Amino acid sequence: MTVSILKRPISLPLAALAATLAMGAPQAGAQGLFQMLFGGTYNREPRQLQREFPPARSHQKKREPAPAAKISAPSYYTYKTDPMMTVDFSKLVAGTQSVSLDASLAGTSFREALAGLSAFDLVAEKDIAKALLDYYSANPDFIWVSGHTANARAEEAIRTLSDTASHGLIPADYAVSVPPATYAADDVAGRPKTLIRFEMAMSARVLRYVHDAQGGRIDPNRISGYYDFAPKQLDMVATLKALSQTPDVRAFLESKHPQNPEYKALRVELEALRASEENDIVVDPKLLLKPGETNPELPKLLHLIARDLDDEMGGEYGETLARLGSSEVYSPELVPVVEAVQKRAGLKADGVVGPRTVAILAGTSKADRLDKVLVALEQLRWLPSDLGSPRVFINQPAFTASYIEDGVAKLKMKTVIGKSTNQTSFFQDDIEQVDYNPYWGVPQSIIVNEMLPRLRSDPSYLDRAGYEVTDSKGRRIPSSAIDWGQYGAKVPYSVRQAPSEANALGELKILFPNKHAIYMHDTPQKALFDRDNRAFSHGCIRLSDPRGMAAAVLGTDVDYIAAKLKQGHSSEKVTRKIPVYVAYFTAWPDLDGKVEYFGDVYDRDARLKDAMIRTDSARAPGM
């Protein structure tokens, strides 16, 4: 005989909890995790969990509670420039004079001219100073001088160095005083001194140019721990050797700049901005205008929309704009026009004119756009000259991720990036793996900063929330059995959330292992993608179309991804080389070459500009 032990219907919340426990699913979601854990939604410990994880006493001797601690996020530094020094030519002069040179290898004029380097105050970076001494000790001959004047090789190099402004560089950093082609008869004795000093200055500035063109003037890793770039290797001695032999100095030097279409588009934008006048239509940047309202700023916006109409929008909205272009009333007929502009710009198409919509239409000032382009050109020099194909490009200020192959953006989607207190780093890597129905390994920073304070007073809440706690040997331990109060910034346990619909990573993640523990993943919080500013994560990249991205990097289709997801937890290696750029550009061209501008969500541009100013100041003594 079956006897019912229930005297009354079970409440809905308890029923849901019981059903979830029966399924073995965890109770907490991504951001909902912390609402649940810290908000007290589940304050009572279910009897089922009490049986599975009975209250346990630690066998360790009770210790004094450790002081509360935090794991700090990366910081921003005061930028330190490359050290400058006066080149010490004494060893070069002494060493060369002691060597008997074959005139066919080293002209007598070079050897005799070396005395002119005495008391020559040539200021250069430490590595460049060393390269000059190493190269000319092994190759005691002129590169930039023939006979008694600067040669054609020098003229080509000087023309190239004088064009550095078109690359967003500072011409003064590479300036060299060129000796006159003619000289007075009474200056014959002083000519070798002039030429040898010109030779060394030319080589020093050309090496600086190559260094800056290839890897940038700024070392990003000195700006902040949020930047992570391996230094680009440059053999300066080999560079001088190549310059002494190449028949086309200009082509050699120009080849050191990035060769990708994005860099070229930014150079074109820089030239256009410098030649343009400031935008003569100024719109209140704080304008907030809703349908049905009246505002004198509206005609300015409508004029800007009409001025930039393409064929598609012109055909659909041209007549409306021509008829209502001077209206100060935001009528229902104008709402679809604004929504179309918002949609094209990737904003929420709600028809409300706010600061983001104004910025898209009226743009930023010419000065701000110039700054953004100069910053973008510098940052591109940190990346490979060839960005690769296929590749994934994440631009944090744009809140987008794109899969690009053969010059085509085959997939582009919205992203959520790290909030200002958990910023997403700027780095590059290679995609390696896709995880289906993933576990979420909770980062130590979240364990220490967000979980540990609660665990000190409520050690069993991870058990109730369906999280797994393991020790350093991989053994699972009930959260309630741990004396959490004895730990500060170092917790010797791992915490992970099992696969489920509530998992913080959603149904899949795409890994490119890195020291920042950043990856792309799904999320149960889909509503965040409807916002314009999408900086809400702990640093990882949440994708609005994770299945599409997974299919793209694996070279398959979304039906395949869906089938894999039905099979439960598994992993799949990416067999192709696919670089991923977790980038930060407030000015960036689309694949058609049109440069778009974005807000500086982390205020990083100002820090890079400060580093540029410091570098300019350090180089100011020049020669």
Q: Is residue 372 part of a domain?
A: no
- Predicted confidence at residue 562, as pLDDT, reads 97
pLDDT of 43 > 50? The answer is: no
Quote the mean pLDDT of the chain: 85
Same domain membership, residue 583 and residue 452 = yes
- Predicted confidence at residue 418, as pLDDT, reads 96
What is the rounded CA–CA span in Å between residue 604 and residue 535? 15
What is the rounded CA–CA span in Å between residue 199 and residue 365? 43
Helix (H) or strand (E) holding 537: strand 535-537
Give me the CATH number covering residue 407. Answer: 2.40.440.10
What is the rounded CA–CA span in Å between residue 404 and residue 535? 24
Interval 143-180: pLDDT, tens: 999 988 999 999 999 999 999 999 999 999 999 999 98
What is the rounded CA–CA span in Å between residue 186 and residue 101? 29
pTM of this prediction? 0.78
Angle at 244 between CA 242 and CA 249, to 5 degrees: 75
Task: Read off the pLDDT of each residue in 241-262 and give the average, rounded to a whole number.
Answer: 97
- Predicted confidence at residue 398, as pLDDT, reads 95
9-16 contacts at long range (C-beta below 8 A, 24 or more positions apart): none
pLDDT of 14 > 70? The answer is: no
- Predicted confidence at residue 393, as pLDDT, reads 98
Q: Is residue 58 part of a domain?
A: no
Q: 304-314: b or e for each residue (b if 16 or more CB lie within 10 Å)?
A: bbbeebeeebe
Asked which of 176-190, 229-243, 536-550 is least confident by mean pLDDT, the reply is 176-190
Q: 123, 622 in Cβ contact below 8 A?
A: yes
- Predicted confidence at residue 52, as pLDDT, reads 41
Return the residue matching tokens 């029966």.
22
Helix (H) or strand (E) holding 86: strand 84-86
Cβ-based neighbours of 184, under 8 Å, separated by 6 or more: none
Q: Is residue 131 part of a domain?
A: yes
Pairing of the two strands 426-430 and 227-228:
parallel
Task: Read off the pLDDT of each residue in 198-221 and give the average, rounded to a whole number.
Answer: 97
Last residue of a domain, one of 220, 246, 269: 269
Same domain membership, residue 255 and residue 108 = yes
Q: Domain range holding 88?
A: 84-269
Task: Read off the pLDDT of each residue in 316-338 and give the average, rounded to a whole number.
Answer: 91
In this prediction, residue 40 has a pLDDT band, given cuts at 50, 70 and 90, of: very low
Q: Is residue 94 part of a domain?
A: yes
Interval 593-614: pLDDT, tens: 999 999 899 999 999 999 999 9
Task: Read off the pLDDT of each residue in 86-106 and give the average, rounded to a whole number.
Answer: 63
Task: Read off the pLDDT of each residue in 127-144 and give the average, rounded to a whole number.
Answer: 96
Q: 235, 156 in Cβ contact below 8 A?
A: no
Q: Is residue 20 part of a domain?
A: no
Q: 327-356: b or e for each residue (b if 16 or more CB lie within 10 Å)?
A: eeebeeebbebbbbbbeeebbbbbbbbbeb
Helix (H) or strand (E) holding 228: strand 227-228
Residue of 492, 494, 491, 469 whose CA lies nearest to 480 = 469
Q: Is residue 72 part of a domain?
A: no
**Structurally, how many domains does the chain consist of?**
2
Q: Is residue 232 part of a domain?
A: yes
pLDDT of 316 > 50? The answer is: yes
Q: Is residue 2 part of a domain?
A: no
Query: 34 or 613: which carries more pLDDT confidence?
Result: 613
Percent of all residues in the chain with a pLDDT value above 70, rounded to a whole number:
85
Q: What type of residue is 228?
A: D
Last residue of a domain, one of 214, 239, 269: 269
Residue of 42, 33, 37 whose CA lies nearest to 14 = 42
Last residue of a domain, one of 219, 242, 269: 269
Interval 460-499: pLDDT, tens: 989 888 889 998 888 999 989 898 988 888 889 999 888 8
The alpha-carbon radius of gyration of the chain (Å, integer) is 32
